[in-house]
Amino acid sequence: MKIALLGYGKMGKIIEQIALDRGHEIVAKIDKDNAADLANLNGDTVDVAIEFSMPAVAYDNLTTCIKNGIPVLSGTTGWLDKLPELEQLVAEQNGTFFYASNYSIGVNLFFKVNEFLAKLMNPQKEYEVDMVEIHHTEKLDAPSGTAITLAEGVLDNVERKAKWVNESSEKAEELDIISLREAEVPGTHSVHYRSEVDDIEIKHTAHSRKGFALGAVLVAEWLPKQKGVCSMDDFLKL
């Protein structure tokens, strides 16, 4: 399979190695120094593009791929306010687009555990819920996309919470997300339910970026045969 990498930072390099180990070919590596080269790629020269770049350029990268007939998956966070526009473009172009806030198989199973627990906790009003996410100091956005997905899982199922905030809050309707940045932390996310008598906590701890990268390559292998906007629920048949 011919893969284009959009973004060639730490994640891009790990994805490259896993893709090569699995017998694929990297036909392009697009980064800030050669961003204009993306316009020259199309569905005849690239089977799939894997986009892990920066929030400021992600949307332009993705729209170029869709217009040029390249199936593309993205793990970049911080640009999702433009997601409806991109989904409209996918429909207009009969394109293929996949987004996940986290490509780790374990994290996506964790998302489902979070939703199930939130449903159980909805009637238990004596429990307060909050979240903590920890990432490496180079991560620019906060909260993380993974944390936002977890928060949405809580908000969809715990009726007493109306919105998330990226700070400690005393307002009963707000779900706190505390974002911490520490050296060499690939990603840790925890959801806590606290009461006077006990606490319940679920937690996912990544040991390296390899799980994220492997998941992205597995999705890339699956994506070229799909059409439209796809998600991890589609890929994992959840």
> Rounded to an integer, what distance in angstroms lies between the CA atom of residue 79 and that of residue 97?
15
By CB atoms closer than 10 A (0-12, 13-18, 19+), residue 69 is middle
Residue 13 is predicted with a pLDDT of: 95
Residue 77 is predicted with a pLDDT of: 84
Nearest partner of 86 among 103, 61, 108, judged by Cα = 61
CB 177 within 8 Å of CB 143: yes
Please tell me which residue in 135, 161, 189, 204 is annotated as part of the active site: 135
pLDDT digits (tens, 9 = 90+) for 131-165: 999 998 888 788 998 999 999 999 999 999 999 99
Q: Model's pTM, two decimal places?
A: 0.80
Please tell me which residue in 29, 67, 139, 192 is annotated as part of the active site: 139
Superfamily of domain 2-103+210-236: NAD(P)-binding Rossmann-like Domain (3.40.50.720)
Q: Which residues of the chain have pLDDT under 70?
A: none
> Rounded to an integer, what distance in angstroms lies between the CA atom of residue 102 and that of residue 153?
14
Q: Which residues are annotated as a binding site for NADP(+)?
A: 32
CB 103 within 8 Å of CB 219: yes
What are the residue ranges spanned by the domains of the chain? 2-103+210-236, 105-205
**CATH number of the domain located at residue range(s) 105-205 in this protein:** 3.30.360.10
Q: Which residues are annotated as a binding site for NAD(+)?
A: 31, 75-77, 100-103
Residue 127 is predicted with a pLDDT of: 98
Give yes or no: 135 in active site.
yes
- Element of type H or E holding 49: strand 48-51
Q: Which residues are annotated as a binding site?
A: 31-32, 75-77, 100-103, 136, 145-146
Give yes or no: 139 in active site.
yes
Residue 177 is predicted with a pLDDT of: 98
